[in-house]
């Protein structure tokens, strides 16, 4: 796991990248849906709650993923 931070245009960005299996492209649009999970026994609430908290603070979350290469989540929130 690699974590990068930077300031950009009055915002703070945090990117969290892994080199895992990646996420299939057909699953990407559903990642933030409450109760969507690909894990047996998963609740599907983690990313839905994360997105809501970030949005409540004026931020955004984005994902980029390639199967077999890994996934990067980038969070952006207002600085200060």
Distance CA 22, CA 34 (A): 20
Distance (Å, whole) CA 21 – CA 67: 6
pLDDT at 80: 82
Beta bridge partners of 74: 15, 62
Model pLDDT, residue 32? 97
Give the pair of three-digit tokens for residue 38. Answer: 């690909």
Whether the per-residue pLDDT at 8 is higher than 90: the answer is: no
Nearest alpha carbon to residue 54 among 70, 32, 37, 23 = 32
pLDDT in tens, 14-40: 999 999 999 999 999 999 999 999 889
Look at the block and give the residue holding tokens 């109760």.
Answer: 35
pLDDT tens profile 41-76? 999 999 999 999 999 999 999 999 999 999 999 999
Token duo for residue 5: 């931070």
Q: How confident is the model at residue 13 (pLDDT cuts 50, 70, 90)?
A: very high
């Amino acid at each position: 796991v690699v974590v990068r931070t930077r300031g950009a245009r009055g915002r703070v960005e945090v990117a969290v990248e892994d080199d895992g299996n990646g996420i299939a492209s057909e699953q990407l649009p559903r990642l933030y849906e409450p109760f969507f999970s690909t894990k047996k026994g998963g609740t599907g609430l983690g990313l839905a709650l994360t997105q809501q908290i970030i949005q409540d603070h004026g931020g955004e979350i984005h994902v980029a993923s390639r199967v077999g290469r890994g996934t990067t989540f980038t969070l952006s929130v207002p600085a200060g």
